[in-house]
Structures are given as C-alpha cells and as structure tokens.
Amino acid sequence: MKKIYIALAFALLSLVSCRSLVEEWQPVFTGKYANPETSKIYSESDLRDMGFSGTFTTISALKALYKNAPYAINSNIWIKGQVTTSDVSGNLYREIYIQDETGGIDLKLGKSSLYSEYKIGQWLYVSCADLVLGAYNGMPQLGAEADNTSTNEYETSYIDVQTVIDQHVFKGPYAEPLKPLVVSEQDIKNAISKGFTGELWGKLVTVPGLLYKKEIFALFYPNPNMPHKSGNPENRVFLSDNGTWGITTWALTKSRYISNIYEGLWDAAEVGSGATRYGPITGAPADYLKPGKILDSFGFDSHSSYKDIMANYATANYVSHYFVLGKTDVQVRTSGYAKFADERLDERILNGSACDITGILTVYDGSAQFTLIDEPSVSVIVK
Amino acid sequence: MLKRYLTALALLLAAAGLSAQDYTGGVKGTVVNRNGRQPVEKARLTLMQGANTVAEVESAADGTFQIPNLADGMYTLVIVAPDFLENQVQVTVNDGYVKNMFNLSLTSMQQVTELDDDSFAAFDMDDSGYNDNPTILFGSNDIFNNLAGYNFSSVRFRARGYTSESQDVYLAGVRMNDAVTGYSPFSLWSGLNEAMRSKETVNGAELSDYGFGGYNGLTYIFGNASSVRKGLRGSLLTNSQLYRLRVMASYATGLQDNGWAFAANVSARLGGNDWIDGVYYRSFAYYLAADKVFNKSHKLSFVFFGTPGERGAQNASTQEVYDLMKDNMYNSNWGYQNGKVRNARVRRTHEPVAIVRYEFTPSDKFEGGATLLYRFGKNGYTALDWYDAQDPRPDYYRNLPSYFRDSNPDMNRNNEYKYAWSNEIWTHASEFPGLTHINWDRLYNVNYLQGGRSKYVQEERRVDQKDFNASVNFKWRASERFTLTGGLDGRMNNTEYYKVLADLLGGEYFLDVDNFAEREFSSQAWKIQNDLNYYVANGEPRKLKVGDKYGYDYLAQVRNLSGWVAGKMVLGNFSANVGLKAGYESFWRHGLMRKGLFPGYPKDENMAAAWRNLGIEPSEEWSSWVSKKAKFFTYAAKLGLNYVIGGNQRVYANVGYFNDAPKFNQVFLSPRTRNTMVDNLQTVKTFTSDVNWQYSGGGLNLRATAFYTTINDQSKVMSAYDDLQNAFSNFAITGIDERHMGLEFGFKVPTYLVDNLSVQGALSLGEYIYTSNPRMTQTVDNSAETVMSDVLVSYWKSTPVAARDENGNYLDDVVDHYQKHYVPSTPQLAASIGLAYNYNYWFIDADVEYFAHSYLDMNPLYRTDYATAGPDYNITPEEVLYMTTQEKFKPAWLVNFSVGKSWYIQRKYQLGFSLNAKNILNNRNVRTGGYEQTRLVDNTVSRERFYRFDPKYFYMSGFNYMLNIYFRF
C-alpha cells in the first residue's frame, strides 16, 4: 500500500509542478462568459492623457495647412467633428466624414463596415500628428503617409493599421445627427472658386431644386486584371457626352452591367480615351490593335468582342449622373456596390421634375459632386 | 506469498479430493512474449474445467510451468500476466499423457498503449477543403507497427502514404469509417482505452477473419464486455501535449458462472497543455457492456458508449505570423473576453453508439456473428460568423506587416509607416493582446451598438449522424486444409449538415441572410435569403435566437450493401487465401432549406404567385429537395500467398484490386447551397501488391515488406474564399492518380552483450507521387455558372524546369527536367533506431528518429495554366517554377524516451507507471502539414503575373511527456 501512496503523491506532484495550478486548470475558461463592459467613450478631459493640449484646431484651419502638396502633420494638432456618414448602404467604402462648424473632412479610416463602430452624430477626436493631409483631385482628405510605390497616385493612404487608428481616432459622446446645410448655387460657386479650402467640401448638405441633365459619365475597364490606367486606352471604355446611354439606375451592379451590355445599350461606345479612339465595343482587340505585346496581353480574348470581354470580367461600376442648379453642374456619383445601385432614378426626375438632394458634397477636378449617404428615397426628394 | 501457495495448494487438494485418485496426465509449456519470444515469468495460469477452477500455477523465471495430476478431458487454460493481454487456450488431456503446449504466446499490451485519436492535436483546416487525419498504427504483434505507431505518430506519419480514410476500422463486426467522408472513427471512443483495448490488426491488403478490408490494413476492435480485462482498474495520466489530466476507471467481471459478463469504463480528460494556447479538453467518456452466454453456442453482447465533451481546436497560420510571434505553435483561434481566454473554435460532440451482437458457435468448426449497430447524437464545431463587419481573425492578411511592405516592387506594397506599426503590434504581442488574438470584447461592443442585431456571432456547424449498420459474418473451418470466411454488410446513413446559432455575443438576434450573396445581389432581397420560404411567408428574414438552425440545412443520404467471401487453403507449409467482394453504394443530397440563390421551381400555383409578387426568379438548380442519386457498383478481389520456412520464417505476398465508390463529400460541388454534383462520376480504382518476409525466434523479430500501389480516378472538392470572384469558391477535381511504392522494415534484436537489452528499429522508405494531371471545375456559391469548366490542371503531377542558356536565363520551350509532385503531409522517409530493455516488469525504451521527404498539400488552382500565365496570358518558365513547385519540408531528428515498471503488491494489487518523453531535443521547427491558400495576388504593378498567398503550416509540439499511473484491484 505504501507504494501506492508514494506513486499517487508522485503523480500529484508532477501534475502540479509543470505550471501553476490555477493556470493549468483554467487554460480556457469553460463556464459562462460574462458580457464585456462597453468600450470607452472619451470626454475632452480624458484626451489630455492622450497628449491633447487643450485646444482643438478647426477643420478649416487644418485644411489651410495644405499647400498644393501632401502635408505631413508634424505638430500636436487635434481636431474634432461629428460623424456625418455611414457606409451601411455601401456607397462609401473605407472612409468616414466628420464635420465641425467650419467644414468637413474625409477621414480615410481604412476599415470596412465602419458604421458598425462609428455612429452618425457621434463626436470623434482626431490627433493629427503623423497623419497626412492630402488632396484627391482637389478634395481634402486626412489619411496616413502615402504608399511609396511606382503606381501610387494618391497623396495619402488608408489609416488601416489598428494601432494607428487607436492612437489617432478617439470615440467621443453620441449626439444628435447634424442637420444638412442647405446651400445655394452661389455657395457652390464660392466653394469651387476657393478650391481645396472651400467650406462646403466634405460637409453634409442639401442642394434644393436640382434638375436632371439626362447625362451620365462612366468609365469601364474591359479586363480589369490588365493594365487600365490612362497609358492603356485599349483597356478603357468611356460612357460620356451622349446622354444617359440607357442607364436609368443610380449605378451598375455586376448583373446590371452584364445585362446592359447584352441589351446592346452601349454598342456605340468606343474603346479608348482622349485622342486615342479605336472603335466600338462590338469589335475585338484584334480588330483595333497591331500584333505585339499589347494585343498579346488580351491572350485568347483577343478575338472576342470587347462586349464579351466586358461581360466576362464584369464587376460593379460607378455611374455619375449630371444634375444642374442654375448654371452649375452637380454630379451624383454612386458606387455599383451601393445597395441602391440598381434602383431607378425617380420617373419624375427623368421627366424633368426638380429635386432636393442631400449627401456629402465633394469636389472633383473643380466640379461639385454628391455622394449619397442614405438611399435615394430619403436623400433625393422630388418637388 | 505464503498465502498464494496455500491457495494453490488448497485448490490442488480440492481437485485431488474431487477426483479422489492420482492421475498421470498433465499440461506443461512455456509462456512467451509473442513479440520477441522472450519468456514471461510470473504469468498466472488458471486451468478451468467448465466453470470450475482445477488448478492455478505461476510461470517460472524461464517462463515454464507444469500442471500435473489431471484427469483426461477438455480444459480451458487462462493465462494472465501484467502488461499482457489475457489469453485462453483449449487443452485436451488424453491417455494420461502430460500434454506439452510448447510456447504459449502472450500479446504484449503495448507499453505505450495510450494511442488513439487523442494522440493527435485537432487541427482546424477551416474551409480549406484539406483534411488532416493521420493513420493510427497500433502495435499489437507487428514489430514495425509497434515501433512506428508510437515513434512516428508525432509527425503525423501515414502508413505507406495512404490517407486515413483507407484504413478500415471495425468495431464488433461493423466497419465504422464515416459514411460520408470515410474518415477513421477513433474519436468516437477516445478516452475509452480500456474498453477498446482488445483488437486485432492486419496490414496492407492482408485478409482478416473479420472483414474484407482494403489496402491499408484493418483494425478489428472487439469492444464487448468479456474482452475487457477483468477486475477494477484505474489510471491517472498527465500529459503536456494535449490535456493535463486523464482519470480513467474500468471494471469488468469477466465471464461469470451464470453466463453473464459485465464491463464498464469511464474517463475524464481535462485541461490545457504546455504548447498550444487555447487548446483544451473537457471530455468525458462512458461505456457499458454486457455479454450473455446462453450455452456453449449462443452469445449475445450489448454495448453502449459515448464520449460527450468539448475540445478546443488549433489553427494554422503563415510562417510570417509564427516568426513575428516567435512561436510556431501560435494559435489564432482564441482571445480574451473580460480577461479570460476563450477559443472560438470548439468541437462539441456526443455521438453515442449502441451495439447488439449475436455470436453463434455450434461447433469447433463454425462460428457466426450478426451485429446491429446504431450511431447517433450530435457533432458540433463552433466558429465565428459575421455579417457586414470586419474580419475578426487576428492574423487576417490585411493585419500583417507583409501587407504593407514587400521587397518585390511588383507586389506594389511599400508603406514604411504602416509596416512599422503593424510590425510593432506583432513583435510586441503581449502589449497588444486585442490585436494578436481574437478581441472578444470588441466583438461584443460592436454588437452592443447595433440596436439588437448582432454583427458577430458564434455559430455551431453540425454534422449529426443517424448511422444504422447491420452485418453478418461467419467462419467455417471446413477441413484442416480449408477455411471459408464471409459476411454481408448493410448501412443506412442519414447525416444532417446544418448550423445553429451558438452565441449572440451580446446582441439580441442575428438575421438569416447570406453575407456572400449580398455582396453581389444586395438589391435583390429575395436572393440573399438563406431561408426563402420563411422570407416569402413573413416578408423578412428570420431573426435568429440562440439554438436556431440557419444558413444551410441538408441531408447526406448514404446506402451501402456489400457481401464478401474468402477462402483459405493450407497445404503443408504453404497457404493461400482468395477473397472477393461485391457491393452497391448510392448516395444523394436532400436539401431541407430553400435558398434564395437556388430556389428551384415553386411547388404549386400559390407559391408561384407569391414568387411573382416578390420578383423571385426560379432556377434550374435546387438548394432544396432531392438531388440525383449517385449509384455505384463496387467490387474487389484479394489474393494472399503464405509460405512458412522452418519454425521461424514466413514469406508472404498479397495482391488486391478495388473498385470503390467515391465519397459524398468528394462529389457535391457546393453541398451547402445546391444539389449539383461533379460531372462524369468515376469509381476509384486501386491496385495493390506487397511482398513480405518475417522472422521471429530466438529473441529476434523482423519484418521486411515491399509494396506497390496505384490509386486512380480519385475526386475531391475543396472550397475557399476567392478574392478574384469575391465569393466562396468551389474547386472540384477529378481524375487524381497516385502511385505509392516503398519498403517497410522493422526489427528487434537482442544485443547478446547485455541481458534483456535489445536493439530495435523501424524504417519506412517510400515514394508516393501523383501520376496524373486531373481536371478541375471551379464554381462559386453565388452562381450556377462555372468560372473554369473542366480545365486541365496541367502542373499537378510535376513542375517542368526549363533548361537555361549559357547566361543562366531560362529557355522558353526546352524542359530540362520534371520535378515530381508528392502525396503530402507524411514523411516519405521515416526511420527509428533505439534500445529496449525489458526485465522484471521494467521497460526502458530510447529511440532516435529521422523524418524526411515530407511535402505540403497542393492546391489545384496554382497548377493551372490560368495561374501560371497571369493576367497577361503569357506563361514563362519563371512563372511555372514559382507557381507550381511543391514545397518540401526540412528533415527532422527526434529523440524519444520511455520508462515503465509495474509491481504486484500483496498479490491483490497491481501498480505500474509509464513515462513517455517525446521530442527530448525540444525541436520546435518540424512542420507536419498545412495547406496552400487557394487565392492569388492579382493587383500587381506589371499586370503580368500572379503571386501566391503564403501557405499555412502546422508544427509538431516541442518536448512533451506523458505520465501514466495505473493500478488494479
């Protein structure tokens, strides 16, 4: 019997000795897990622990730091603003807009489904040091240092490393969503004339009395896996300067894009861009291109019509619809990934009724452009 | 000691008293270890006549024993020795002679007996389509298996390179391999080591008395009450690799006078381990069995067992993650919730098995048996599920430093600032537990903000079987020279695949919509419904609560019927056996949920009208209802020849041909969404042959085998998320051919220098290669259209390496040589050599192992012209080499050591221990498996080529030990 006791003692000892008992017997908690506490909502006083100096810079003052080149913020600048956008409808992707009384800005938070964590109306505090203020075709953006790659065409990049987000973006209290600012044609003209620092850019606004111009703009890359920048006009198809091209929806989902191609709505659209025009999409690359590397890159597609190539590599696509206020054009640009992409423009708008549009007003190469945040039944009100 | 002799004396006296006269008859012999033929001392021999004990003696140090003074008649001799399986032999004493039984061999209970499903970490293969089931080799009486089973298991060695599906496992007469997947079923009884200890094993294509078997051996487990060792046994086991503690107890009555035998076995396996965080056990096991022998010829057995419990799983990561974490055993499956560790991937199972078996032995010449076996219960596996929210996995590729910087400019990744911060997180993991592990607190907080609708939930994927088996088998010794065996097996399997909501993670409900479909069909609400009928009836998707079924729900229905017969002929030293088998197998899918993506047609005019109202478009393909039936006629034949030379040597050879049905999970393209099967279904055709030489005697034990096997026309379906298609993608591959050939050698030889010290070794040297380029069809869950239709996987069997010109540049159209591609996830060279010491119930084993030629599982996408050409459709030798080369793992050395001893205490108790220390060199860089991700990097600068995603690997544990202390009352 003594041997048994010795052996049992030995067994127990060896069970205990490896690591501490507590850790070993609960390596994974297997009981009922308690719900975690709600995460921290920062007040302005909390921010002092994070290095906040006590004074916020206004968004317009921040924008003023931009001088035609990306501006790497190297001082302890903090801004605050209320969230005005949500990516729930899918029309925005990896960006969020905040605004204070002086202006709005596009914060390039490079995560998806931001609406799950940032609520419209909520205050955000942004520590701007180490971030970069840049422009995208004239539109102010606050992001991270730009990628240092040969193809990069952006002045900033997404803030997508979680620690960078955690060090720069602090969630503040929830508040009532901001009311859109109702603007006139003159306001828009003023903003355009101010360029980058125009106060309207990035703000939630309502433009009343817009009329549909029955004109659209869209750019397709027949094979998006091939080079398709401006140096490769053989892989670009523009729909512009010719009415609506039969597009009556806010944007083109993949399936709508394919059905429009096969309905022949775009048969007259030409391959090419700028001065280089090859011919309609009913033709094939081999009809337009000389034998060589460029034609070769179409591979076994080179004798297929561009229509077939487009359908074969179809993706969702952006569409810009042109509206006009007085004499000023305002585009409404919508992503093919928006949940309302397949929704038709209201019949009355197509027939010439005026409408009030609410969304984020941005600037693109000197013209005003809308991004709808809510679905059109809310954001586009027919008079 | 004195007491023991007195008992024996009393028994002898009693026997003498009964007979009241002296006899000249008797029994004598030598008890030896079946493995090595060494004498076994202190074996207890009990001679029974009917239920009466006639005599009890103990073997001497040289293993000899003698029982004198026996009347003529039939006796049963029961031999029991510590660490050996109990043996019974029939003895006939006649004409007053002392019958010499010569060598009575006992099968050593493997010193390392704790080999079952638990010996292998459960690797989480996610939805990769790969599987990772190692073969479990049991020692029993084969010297090679004895050594390889234990020493090679750490690297997930697969015997002869075969998959675990090909290993036939029988329990009480029924083949237990999973009906749907074919996987070996050891997990059903892990933790019941005592109850399932008695087994018989044959290798390769050898014919077993118990079933026809395949080409990868057959393990027959008795599992009934009388096969459990008599008495009360208990053991305590601690283990640093899988769980902290196993407590096990068993009790068996043995066959009692009233014809009943009862047995019970229970165990609990609990705790974590030294190596992999988040992996834990909370598993229990129970076993109850009864045998009733009615008279000599009828026996009924009842068995009921189950292993309820849960087990945390381990995940694979890329080498980048392991390097950053400085830990090749990093597990991304767990994270902190309120400071407590929680694993997202937990296997929760309880699949009881009920067995009734009847055995009929009307004479010495005939034995027959019939079994009814039913397996049921639940098999669940939890995972995170999310709707329109960030990927919660900490090692998601966009969270890693490599996503922000890559030295290849073509990859277009260069952002020093973000690289530095991302690197900071992963190299200071303890400061960022919420980023390097699952951040449960964040998931809850996201859910809190959604007004009740959870974004993140934990799902439980269920694979619940109703598996009914009926089987009959017989053995008829027609004459001294001819024995006929045979059987009939029938199976009805109904496995329901579905998922249930396991945890709302702080929310109030979850919506039953298809996340992936929504990305493409967001504007067609009906099309993204997982349960279209509910949506049509209620106008909205179901708000799911914990426990609700959702996502998908279908039955895999499998029916099998087969019969086999085998004859064995003995002519002097020569024997031959021939076996034939024929069967019918059919299976089909039965969808139980109508999905928006593939609604089929409305069942009546009412439904049609409702569909028109909602704009629902019927489809040719069905998510619900019954698929076509796949039907197969299967057959197989085996021939074995066996020649015994002298008393010690045996030469034998086997050949076999098998025409087997593919498995359900190998032919349905996307069973979660629809009824569609792979076109052109083929049976799997296997030819196998082996030649063997075995020697045992004089303490020597050797086996050498050469084998050659071809396995043709295999099919497989893999699923993975495809970036290019933005959808869940399925790759159906058909026409995979393999060739396995090689040598096995096992030996145990006394040193002759030191008594009781032997040298032992095992070698498995093979070449397991792919010999065909299969064809592949790629589909996406979202659409009935094929992405790639029946394309050739041109580089599956080999990579052509182009010749180079004098400047070292590859020549476009000149192939220098072909690099073969190998069957993955097992070393093709495994060798072990060591010393074994056995004396007076001490055993000490020390072995060194070497493993090499192990390869990574390949994905078919990387071996297509599409992937090698890249976006420019131009296939260059560099692209072919880069994209199609199969990764070979580095060789590895291991050192293992075991020691054990058992004692008899006061004759009443037996106490013993075994301590196994594995990987004493603490080698933590041994890759045992993994898989390639089925994704391509396509957004390059040049737009000329694709790049691979980094593969994911599994590693062997570092130093680990297992201490087992057992006692018997």
Please report residues of B whose CB lies closer than 8 A to that of A341.
522-523
The CA distance from B156 to B147, in Å, is: 14
SS3 B517: helix
B949: closest CA of chain A, how far (Å): 17
- Confidence (pLDDT) at B109: 54
Whether residues A28 and B334 touch (CB distance < 8 A) is answered with yes
Is B413 part of the contact surface with chain A (CB cutoff 8 Å)?
yes
Q: Search chain A and give the residue with CA nearest B239.
A: A15
**Mutating which of A16, A18, A20, A28 best tests the B interface, going by the most B Cβ atoms within 10 A?**
A28
The CA distance from B413 to B397, in Å, is: 13
- Confidence (pLDDT) at B89: 78
**CA separation, residue A319 to residues A108, A122, A322, B520 (Å):** 22, 30, 10, 17
Please report residues of A whose CB lies closer than 8 A to that of B244.
15, 24-25, 27
B677: DSSP letter:
B
CB atoms within 10 A of CB B153: 18
Whether residues A149 and B941 touch (CB distance < 8 A) is answered with yes
Please report residues of A whose CB lies closer than 8 A to that of B270.
25
Residue pair B71/B62 in contact by the 8 Å Cβ criterion:
no
Q: Which neighbouring-strand residues pair with B895?
A: B848
Please report residues of B whose CB lies closer than 8 A to that of A1.
905-906, 909
The CA distance from B167 to B150, in Å, is: 17
**Which amino acid, one-letter code, is at B543?**
K
Please report residues of A whose CB lies closer than 8 A to that of B342.
28-29, 33
* CA angle (B60, B66, B69) in 5-degree steps: 150
- Confidence (pLDDT) at A1: 53
Global pTM?
0.89
pLDDT 10s digits, B45-98: 888 887 678 888 888 888 889 998 888 888 888 887 766 666 777 788 888 888
**Mutating which of B345, B872, B938, B960 best tests the A interface, going by the most A Cβ atoms within 10 A?**
B872
Residue pair B426/B404 in contact by the 8 Å Cβ criterion:
no
- Confidence (pLDDT) at B780: 87
Q: Search chain B and give the residue with CA nearest A7.
A: B965
- Confidence (pLDDT) at A201: 96
Whether residues A29 and B341 touch (CB distance < 8 A) is answered with yes
Residue pair B36/B699 in contact by the 8 Å Cβ criterion:
yes
Instruction: Please report, for chain A, the start and end positions of each structural domain, with discontinuous segments joined by +.
Output: 45-171, 179-383
Q: Following DSSP, what letter does each residue of B867-883 receive, concatenated?
A: HHHTTTT---HHHHHHH
- Ranking A50-64, B13-27, B145-159 by mean pLDDT, the lowest is B13-27
Q: Search chain A and give the residue with CA nearest B456.
A: A116
Does the pLDDT of residue B451 top 50, yes or no? yes
Strands B456-477 and B947-948: unpaired
Full 3-state SS string of B547-610: CCEEEEEEEEEEEEEEEEEEEEEEECCEEEEEEEEEEEEEEEEEECCCCCCCECCCCCHHHHHH
Please report residues of B whose CB lies closer than 8 A to that of A149.
409, 412-414, 941
Over residues B553-578, the mean pLDDT reads: 95
Residue position matching structure tokens 């302890």: A76
**Residues within 8 A of A (CB atoms), B 551-610 only:** none
- Confidence (pLDDT) at A22: 44
Across the interface, of A14, A36, A299, the residue whose CB is closest to B338 is A36
- Confidence (pLDDT) at B697: 73
Q: Which helix (H) or strand (E) holds A276?
A: strand A276-280
Is B789 part of the contact surface with chain A (CB cutoff 8 Å)?
no
In the CATH scheme, what architecture does the domain A45-171 have?
Beta Barrel (2.40)
Across the interface, of A36, A150, A223, the residue whose CB is closest to B440 is A36
Does the pLDDT of residue B11 top 50, yes or no? no
Cα dihedral angle (B864, B870, B875, B881), rounded to 10 degrees? -70
- Spans of chain A, pLDDT less than 50: 16-25
A247: closest CA of chain B, how far (Å): 16
**Mutating which of A162, A223, A249 best tests the B interface, going by the most B Cβ atoms within 10 A?**
A162
Residue position matching structure tokens 């709005």: A104
Q: Quick one: pLDDT band at residue B801, thresholds 50, 70, 90?
A: very high
Q: Search chain B and give the residue with CA nearest A143.
A: B418
Residue pair B848/B832 in contact by the 8 Å Cβ criterion:
yes
Is B941 part of the contact surface with chain A (CB cutoff 8 Å)?
yes
Average pLDDT along chain B: 89
The CA distance from A195 to A68, in Å, is: 11
Whether residues A227 and B943 touch (CB distance < 8 A) is answered with yes
Q: What is the ipTM of this complex?
A: 0.92
Please report residues of B whose CB lies closer than 8 A to that of A33.
337-338, 340, 342, 440
Whether residues B872 and A36 touch (CB distance < 8 A) is answered with no
Phi, psi values for residue B311, rounded to 5°? -150, 125
Higher pLDDT, B781 or B558: B558
The number of C-beta contacts closer than 8 angstroms across A and B is 195
Across the interface, of A35, A161, A337, the residue whose CB is closest to B506 is A35
**Which amino acid, one-letter code, is at B779?**
T
B380: closest CA of chain A, how far (Å): 16
Sign of the four-CA dihedral B224, B229, B230, B236: negative
Over residues B516-524, the mean pLDDT reads: 82
Across the interface, of A38, A88, A340, the residue whose CB is closest to B448 is A38
Does the pLDDT of residue B840 top 70, yes or no? yes
pLDDT 10s digits, B333-371: 999 999 899 999 999 999 999 999 999 999 888 999 999
The CA distance from A287 to A276, in Å, is: 15
- Confidence (pLDDT) at B246: 92
- Confidence (pLDDT) at B8: 45
Whether residues A296 and B938 touch (CB distance < 8 A) is answered with no
Is B245 part of the contact surface with chain A (CB cutoff 8 Å)?
yes
The CA distance from B838 to B835, in Å, is: 10
- Confidence (pLDDT) at B9: 44
Q: In chain B, what is the straight-line distance between the N-terminal and C-terminal CA atoms, in Å?
A: 17
Tokens of B453: 């609708």
- Confidence (pLDDT) at A27: 60
C-alpha Rg value of chain A to the nearest Å: 27
Is B872 part of the contact surface with chain A (CB cutoff 8 Å)?
yes
**CA separation, residue A78 to residues A52, A82, A131, B82 (Å):** 7, 14, 11, 78
Across the interface, of A33, A160, A161, the residue whose CB is closest to B342 is A33
pLDDT 10s digits, B610-628: 999 999 999 999 999 899 9
Does the pLDDT of residue B746 top 50, yes or no? yes
Residue count of chain A: 383
- Ranking A103-112, B696-705, B719-728 by mean pLDDT, the lowest is B719-728
Q: Quick one: pLDDT band at residue B108, thresholds 50, 70, 90?
A: low
Q: Search chain A and give the residue with CA nearest B450.
A: A116
